[in-house]
Amino acid sequence: MSIAETMIPPQAPPPAPPRPYTLSRFIGSVTLGVWLALTVGIFLTVVNGWDPEKFSRYGPSFMSGLGVTLMLVISSIVMGAILSLPVAMGRMSKNKIWSWLSYAYVYFFRGTPLITQLFLVYYGLGSFRPQLEAMGLWWFFRDAWNCALFTFTLNTAAYQAEILRGAIQSVPRGQHEGAAALGLSQRVAFFKIILPQAMIVALRPYGNEIILMIKGSAIVAIVTVFDLMGETRRAFSRTFDYQMYVWAAILYLMMVELLRNIWALLEARLTRHLKR
């Protein structure tokens, strides 16, 4: 038996094999270069075309447009959430008439473009002015903002009803049976057992729906509501300055990215008990 007298001295690891310069790295560098050039180009046009007078004139209107967009999205999402409850219940009910009615509602609002629905309400209901005046509803539908809110609420209610139904139906049957075995009443079982589990499933689709609404809300600019998009169009039509669209794009991107990150944090927090 021999004992090693001297240890092998520690040696440096062999040099990493040279990474071949692949086509995909070339394409990646080029595309990244294009993005960089675009960013620099936009930055330079903004700096070169910087006009304090323009900024002081259109800056506040952009902010007010942002406020209108956020107001519209938040209120339609909240009202749509309330309206989606009976629709989702109808979709799940065993009553043929209710389930068929809510199916038709959801199919109509998910199958047609939001802009068509908005035109149908804003221009279409305008042709029923005498009837609406007789019912005392004309003051509501006369205003483009109200029409937009009405349409968006109906639209998002259809989408949210589908989200809610999918989430509730994704809760396994065993949970219902478990609640029944514990002697809980239907109502308590729904609110304390089914709904919390369903809401976790529904969290991500709800986030997507809010993002879709933020993006979809841009179309109200066409029916003369001065949201962020409307203010942008107005500023562009007065100045013919392409930067206006760049600013709007940056603001929209910031809104969406902010919401997406908040939602990711929220989801990580709410599902921490499911992590292994």
Would you tell me which residues interact with other proteins (CB under 8 A)? 22, 24-25, 27-29, 31-32, 34-35, 107-108, 111-117, 119-120, 123-128, 211, 214-219, 221-222, 229, 232-233, 236, 242, 245, 248-249, 252-253, 256-257
Task: With CA atoms as reference, report the closest residue to 200 among 266, 108, 106, 102.
Answer: 266
Using the minimum distance from each CB to other proteins, give the nearer residue, 30 or 78.
30
Q: What is the DSSP string of 190-223?
A: IIIIIHHHHHHHHHHHHHHHHHHHHHHGGGGGGG
Q: How far is the CB of 253 from other proteins (least distance, A)?
A: 5
Using the minimum distance from each CB to other proteins, give the nearer residue, 165 or 233.
233
Using the minimum distance from each CB to other proteins, give the nearer residue, 139 or 242.
242
Instruction: Please give the C-alpha separations between residue 269 and each of 164, 203, 274, in angstroms, as whole numbers.
Output: 21, 12, 10
For 86-132, what is the HEC assignment? HHHHHHHCCCHHHHHHHHHHHHHHHHCCHHHHHHHHHHHHHHHHHHH
Residue whose tokens read 């993006």:
215
Q: If 0-12 CB within 10 Å is exposed, 13-18 middle and 19+ buried, where does residue 273 land?
A: exposed
Using the minimum distance from each CB to other proteins, give the nearer residue, 84 or 109.
109
Using the minimum distance from each CB to other proteins, give the nearer residue, 120 or 188.
120
Q: How far is the CB of 255 from other proteins (least distance, A)?
A: 8
Q: How far is the CB of 248 from other proteins (least distance, A)?
A: 6
Q: How far is the CB of 13 from other proteins (least distance, A)?
A: 21
